[in-house]
Every structure is written in C-alpha cells, then in structure tokens.
A and B are shown apart, each in its own frame.
Chain A
C-alpha cells in the first residue's frame, strides 16, 4: 500500500493524512486570520476553518506592519481566535464532505490594487475549487508545490491535491538543485508554477521523466522556456493558465494563444479581457463584467484566438507578483532624504520585469540605505532593485509624475 503522505515540508518532514486529521482534531484555537510562515500549518488552518465553517483571512507572512496597516488589519486581529472542540474528523471522507457542503465558507486574500491601495478579495469554496479535477486518473499525482501558499494559485493547487488525496512536496523558494533533487527523490508528477520559477531551473542537461504535467501561470507565457521545459520533462504535457487573484483560473491553453470557450464568463471588448462577476471574489460584485486591465490582440478573427500583450494600468508583474508603483513611490518618499520618486518596470529575462526607482534626494542617501529602509516598509518583491539617483523627474501638465513608457 502506498504511504499516505499529505505533505513533505522543506526540511523533509513527512506529514501523513492521518497526522493532518489528528492535528485538525487536536486544534483548540481557531484563528480568524492566518498569518503563519509554515506551509503545513497554513493548510491545517484552512481545512480546520472549513470543518468549523468559520471564514478565514489569509495573509502573507512577509507583510510588514505598514502593509498590514494599509490592509486595515491590526495586530489584535492577528491573534484573535475562538476556542473549538468536539468536532471530530473521523476520516478523510469527512473533510471532503465539509468542503462539499460548507458552501458559505469564504477565504479572503489580498492583491495589489490598481489604485495604490491593496485590494481585499473574498472567494467562496466553489470559486476556489472550480477548476479542480477529481478522478482515478489523478489518484497517484504527486505535486511539486511551487506557489506561495497564501496566494490564489497556491490555494488552487492545494485543493486539487487535497481533493484527490495526493501528496504535496514543498518546492516554494527552494533553489534549483534542491528542486531537482526533490523531483527525483519523490518522483513528482505535476508542477504548477510561474515562468520565473521554471526559468530559475535553467540551464540543466539532465531530464526528469516522472513529470507528466507542467502548468505555467501568473506571468506572460514564455515560448522559448516551454521548449526547454519539454526537453527536461520529456513526458510532460504543458498547460498555460490565465488567472487572477480576483477570479482564480479563467482560461487555459497549451501555448500563449487563448480562446474564449465559454462566452458567458469571459468576453473581449475594445481589445480588453472582461470576466463575468460570477467568477469574481464576493466583495467585487458591483460590476457585472470585471475589467481585468489585460489588453489582448486578436490573432485570428475566425477562431477568436488572442494573445495577451500588456496592461492598461500601472501594475507591474514581478516574477508573478503584482507590484503597484504608487504604493512603492509613497514608501520611498517617506524616507527623510527623498524628495520625489518614480517607480517603473524594465523588462528582464529572469523575472519578467525588474523594478527601477528614479529618486530625487533632498540630502545625501545611498542605495543600500534606502533599500534597508524599504525592507521595513514593503514585501521584498516590491523593493526596487535598481535605484537611479537623479535631479529631476518629469511631470505631466497637471503636476503628476509622468509614467515611463517602455
């Protein structure tokens, strides 16, 4: 009989499904916010909150105090919990039943807004499991877990694996050698990750036959990369997903061309993709069609095939994470030596776009000093990696910072 492993953590600790159920049964406190550095504990908290039908707010553990503040979350909320007991999970079927029946349960996540303030997005269980496929075919899938567990893509992989009672091997933030070691050691069959994650696995002159499915999402698809991936993983089928924090997975394809197969949930108007509100997190229901801000180009009028070309707002995709330049500029300008700042994204072969800050100083300041300061204000991926000290930043006629056009 195969070992009933649910999760293998970065340090190699194996947690069985039995242990998962034991931990849920032994939980005596149910937190409303999940603010935890440990992936297994995050999974326990999610499942426990479903079992008890209590909504959960999921936070990145690297949010700074300033970021938590701007999300409207105070420290007391992070430690507030209710006591729980006596709701035994008898077997795995029990967990599945709760997931299937607790339709009112919601999970709240955060994403960079387009206006400067981070946005709260609340999903129902239906939304989070919409793309989950459960069948005998998936019974023996072994998942390489490469997304942040507090982000929607990670949550979707978690549900796909859990509902098929699969094993999840943690690969998130591991370096290249460790990832390959784990693929081989645990015979991983499925990986879902950003193009940046896959790029970091290059170059390599070995191949790994255990991988059967490679899913790419969170950033623009990289055609050269896909050829390399199929060489390294010769038995894999490749899938490209278009998804967003607001809607989860929306479209899929085997390359960078997409087609709308269900016009009830997606449409293109004026070369922009809109998603029907039935797919959108609960707190965004005011508009009937949600404006994704993603601009497309129709490749074939007959088939409706299109590709994503750019965005119509300022959000910059950094290795699959959305960064809002206004939020970063505001943080930079809080430094006492800085008078003005402009943040922009420069195309980069590793992470898609690298953040660059042009700054005007009031008094002397070094790059190292400024970046150290920003580390106390912002998550790592939001900190500009290149700081250009300059004497002037171009303004529009109304006095706003002129956004850099690339």
Chain B
C-alpha cells in the first residue's frame, strides 16, 4: 500500500514541478517533508480517493503518511 501511496505522492509532486521521492516512510509529514500546500493536499485527496475509494480528509485533515495508510487500510 505504501508503494501505491508513494506513486500518488510523486505524481502530485511532479505535476507541480517538484522532484519525485525515492522513498517515503510512515512518519513523514505531508506539509513539512513533502512541501505540500493546500492545493497539493486537495489534489492528493482526489487522487487517493480515485485509487482507493476513500476520502482521507472527509472527517479532518491528517499530518503524516502513516495516518493516511491507517485510513486507507481500514
């Protein structure tokens, strides 16, 4: 699952002129480590929902990769 998420995160990064990441880990922060702003996070939610059917921010926003994995593995 983390690899699917890595591909989505890299897709968002590359679409916005950022370089892709070799690896991601559970404790990485979406804003501080990936440099995602509100528009990037919005794009991420739609792309994750398309892939998994889950709206990860439906209740509230999350901070880390681990928190996303927890939501999409439920």
Which positions in A face B, CB cutoff 8 Å? 173, 175-177, 196-197, 199-200, 202-203, 224, 228, 318-319, 346, 348-351, 354, 356, 367-368, 371-372, 375, 380-381, 385-386
Q: Are the CB atoms of B31 and A351 closer together than 8 Å?
A: no
Chain B residues within 8 Å of A375, by CB: 17
Q: How far is the CB of B46 from chain A (nearest CB, A)?
A: 5
| Complex: A23 Cα to B73 Cα, angstroms | 57
| Complex: A354 Cα to B61 Cα, angstroms | 16
From A196, A199, A354, A367, contact of B46 by CB (8 A): A354
Chain B residues within 8 Å of A224, by CB: 60
| Complex: A381 Cα to B45 Cα, angstroms | 16
Q: Are the CB atoms of B61 and A175 closer together than 8 Å?
A: no
Known A177-B32, A203-B60; contact A385-B42, beta-carbon cutoff 8 A: yes
Q: Are the CB atoms of B15 and A354 closer together than 8 Å?
A: no
Q: Are the CB atoms of B38 and A196 closer together than 8 Å?
A: yes
Which residues 33-65 of B sit at the A interface, judged by CB distance below 8 A? 37-39, 41-43, 45-47, 55, 57-58, 60-63
Chain B residues within 8 Å of A318, by CB: 39
Q: Are the CB atoms of B58 and A319 closer together than 8 Å?
A: no
Chain B residues within 8 Å of A386, by CB: 43, 46-47
From B16, B32, B41, B47, contact of A350 by CB (8 A): B41
Residue in B closest to A346 when the chains form the complex, CB atoms: B46
Q: How far is the CB of B65 from chain A (nearest CB, A)?
A: 15
Q: Are the CB atoms of B46 and A349 closer together than 8 Å?
A: no
Q: Are the CB atoms of A199 and B38 closer together than 8 Å?
A: yes
Q: How far is the CB of A298 from chain B (nearest CB, A)?
A: 30
Residue in A closest to B67 when the chains form the complex, CB atoms: A203
Q: Are the CB atoms of A175 and B31 closer together than 8 Å?
A: yes
| Complex: A381 Cα to B46 Cα, angstroms | 16
Question: Counting CB contacts under 8 A, is B14 at the interface?
Answer: yes
Residue in A closest to B63 when the chains form the complex, CB atoms: A203
Q: Are the CB atoms of A350 and B45 closer together than 8 Å?
A: yes
11 of the cross-chain contacts (CB-CB < 8 Å) are: A177-B29, A196-B38, A199-B38, A203-B61, A319-B38, A349-B45, A349-B57, A349-B58, A350-B45, A350-B57, A351-B39
Chain B residues within 8 Å of A351, by CB: 38-39, 41-42
Residue in A closest to B41 when the chains form the complex, CB atoms: A350
Chain A residues within 8 Å of B58, by CB: 349
Q: Are the CB atoms of B38 and A354 closer together than 8 Å?
A: no
Q: Are the CB atoms of A380 and B39 closer together than 8 Å?
A: yes
Q: Are the CB atoms of A202 and B46 closer together than 8 Å?
A: no
| Complex: A305 Cα to B45 Cα, angstroms | 34
From A176, A196, A202, A371, contact of B60 by CB (8 A): A202
Q: How far is the CB of B70 from chain A (nearest CB, A)?
A: 13
| Complex: A92 Cα to B47 Cα, angstroms | 52
Chain A residues within 8 Å of B57, by CB: 349-350
| Complex: A224 Cα to B58 Cα, angstroms | 11
Chain B residues within 8 Å of A177, by CB: 29, 31-32
From B14, B16, B31, B42, contact of A354 by CB (8 A): B42
| Complex: A386 Cα to B8 Cα, angstroms | 13
| Complex: A329 Cα to B42 Cα, angstroms | 20
Q: Are the CB atoms of A176 and B38 closer together than 8 Å?
A: no
Chain B residues within 8 Å of A199, by CB: 38, 61
Q: Are the CB atoms of A176 and B31 closer together than 8 Å?
A: yes
Known A350-B45, A351-B39; contact A203-B17, beta-carbon cutoff 8 A: no
Q: Are the CB atoms of A348 and B45 closer together than 8 Å?
A: yes
Q: Are the CB atoms of A200 and B31 closer together than 8 Å?
A: yes
Q: Are the CB atoms of B46 and A348 closer together than 8 Å?
A: yes
Q: How far is the CB of A355 from chain B (nearest CB, A)?
A: 9
